[in-house]
Structure 1
Amino acid sequence: MSVENHFGHWGTSPSDPVTTALAGIETALGDLLAMDPAYWRTSQKKDVLVRLQHLKAQQAALELRVLATAGDIAEETGDKDASAWMRAELLVDKGVARSRIKFAVAVSKHELLATGLADGVVSHDKAQVITKALDAIETNPAASTEDLLLAEKLLVDYATHLTANELRIVGKRILVEIDPARFEDAEAKAHLAEEERAQQKTALRIWDNHDGTVGFDGVLPVALGMRFKTHVEAWAQPRKQQIVEKGTPLPSWERLMGQGLARLLETIDPDALPRHGGDATTINVVISLEELRKELGTAILGFDETNGTTISAAEARKMACNATIIPWVLGSDGQVLDAGRSSRFFQPIQRKALRLQQKCCQAEGCDMPPEWCDAHHLTAWSLGGKTDLADGVLLCPHHHRMAHAPAYVHERLPDGTVRFARRS
Structure 2
Amino acid sequence: MSIDHWGTSPGDVLEVALAAIETSLEQLLAMDPTYWRTSQKKDYLARVEKLQAQQTALTLRVLAVSGDIAAETGDKDASAWMRAELLVDKGAARSQIKLARAVAKYELVAAGLTAGVVSEAKARVITETLDKIEADPVTTGEDLVLAGKLLVDYATQATAKELHNAGKRVLTAIDPDRFDEAEAKALLAEEERAQQKTALRVWDNHDGTIGFDGVLPTSIGMRFKKQVEAWAQPRKQRLVDKGAPLPPWERMMGQGFARLIETIDPTALPRHGGDATVVNVVISLEELRKDLGTATLGYDETNGTTITAAEARRMACNATIIPWVLGGDSEVLDVGRGSRFFVPIQRKALRLQQKCCQAEGCDMPPEWCDAHHLEPWAAGGRTDLKDGVLLCPHHHRLAHNPAYVHERLPDGTVRFTRRP
TM over 0.5: yes
**Are residue 266 (structure 1) and residue 262 (structure 2) matched?**
yes
Moved more, 399-408 or 238-247: 238-247
Displacement of 1:330: 0.9
CA gap 1:245/1:78 in 2 versus in 1, 3 angstroms: closer
Displacement of 1:240: 2.1
Please give the alpha-carbon distance, in whole angstroms, between the structure 1 residues aligned to 2:74 and 2:398: 68
- Paired-residue identity, %: 75
Aligned partner of 2:102 in structure 1 is 106
**Are residue 204 (structure 1) and residue 210 (structure 2) matched?**
no
* TM-score, scaled to structure 2: 0.95
**How do 1:241-390 and structure 2 match up within 5 A?**
241-279=237-275, 281-390=277-386
SS in structure 1 of the partner of residue 139 of structure 2: coil
Aligned partner of 1:85 in structure 2 is 81
Among 132, 136, 140, which residue is 2:128 paired with? 132
Aligned partner of 2:180 in structure 1 is 184
Query: Cα deviation per residue 1:28-74 (whole Å; 9 max; x = unaligned)?
Result: 22222222222322222221111111110011000111111111222
Displacement of 1:329: 1.2
Moved more, 374-383 or 354-363: 354-363
Aligned partner of 2:45 in structure 1 is 49
Q: Does the 8 A contact of 2:281 with 2:323 survive in 1?
A: yes
CA gap 1:37/1:241 in 2 versus in 1, 3 angstroms: closer
Q: Which runs of 5+ in 2 are unaligned?
A: none
Among 66, 76, 83, which residue is 2:62 paired with? 66
SS in structure 2 of the partner of residue 217 of structure 1: strand
Q: Does the 8 A contact of 1:271 with 1:280 survive in 2?
A: no
SS in structure 2 of the partner of residue 327 of structure 1: strand
Aligned partner of 1:423 in structure 2 is 419
Among 382, 389, 396, which residue is 1:393 paired with? 389
SS in structure 2 of the partner of residue 388 of structure 1: coil
SS in structure 1 of the partner of residue 200 of structure 2: strand
Moved more, 71-80 or 392-401: 71-80
Q: Does the 8 A contact of 1:270 with 1:280 survive in 2?
A: no
Displacement of 1:97: 1.8
Displacement of 1:5: 6.8
Moved more, 317-326 or 413-422: 413-422
Backbone CA RMSD of aligned residues:
1.8
Moved more, 83-92 or 185-194: 83-92
Please give the alpha-carbon distance, in whole angstroms, between the structure 2 residues aligned to 1:370 and 1:49: 47
Aligned partner of 2:407 in structure 1 is 411
Aligned partner of 1:160 in structure 2 is 156
SS in structure 2 of the partner of residue 406 of structure 1: coil
Displacement of 1:76: 4.4
Please give the alpha-carbon distance, in whole angstroms, between the structure 2 residues aligned to 1:369 and 1:115: 57
Aligned residues, how many?
418
Moved more, 37-46 or 284-293: 37-46
SS in structure 2 of the partner of residue 277 of structure 1: coil
Q: Does the 8 A contact of 1:57 with 1:123 survive in 2?
A: yes
Query: Cα deviation per residue 1:74-110 (whole Å; 9 max; x = unaligned)?
Result: 2345555322222222222222222211110111011
CA gap 1:171/1:249 in 2 versus in 1, 3 angstroms: same
Please give the alpha-carbon distance, in whole angstroms, between the structure 1 residues aligned to 2:142 and 2:268: 55
Look up the equivalent residue of 1:150 and give its one-letter code.
L
Q: Does the 8 A contact of 1:364 with 1:419 survive in 2?
A: yes
Query: Cα deviation per residue 1:278-297 (whole Å; 9 max; x = unaligned)?
Result: 32611111110111111110
Q: Does the 8 A contact of 2:404 with 2:419 survive in 1?
A: yes
Look up the equivalent residue of 2:219 and give its one-letter code.
A
Please give the alpha-carbon distance, in whole angstroms, between the structure 1 residues aligned to 2:36 and 2:346: 65
Please give the alpha-carbon distance, in whole angstroms, between the structure 1 residues aligned to 2:156 and 2:371: 56
Please give the alpha-carbon distance, in whole angstroms, between the structure 2 residues aligned to 1:407 and 1:115: 67
SS in structure 1 of the partner of residue 318 of structure 2: coil
Q: Does the 8 A contact of 2:118 with 2:156 survive in 1?
A: yes
Please give the alpha-carbon distance, in whole angstroms, between the structure 1 residues aligned to 2:351 and 2:35: 58
SS in structure 1 of the partner of residue 330 of structure 2: coil
CA gap 1:264/1:25 in 2 versus in 1, 3 angstroms: same
Moved more, 243-252 or 74-83: 74-83
Query: Cα deviation per residue 1:168-220 (whole Å; 9 max; x = unaligned)?
Result: 11011100011111111111111111111111111112222222222221111
Q: Does the 8 A contact of 2:281 with 2:322 survive in 1?
A: yes
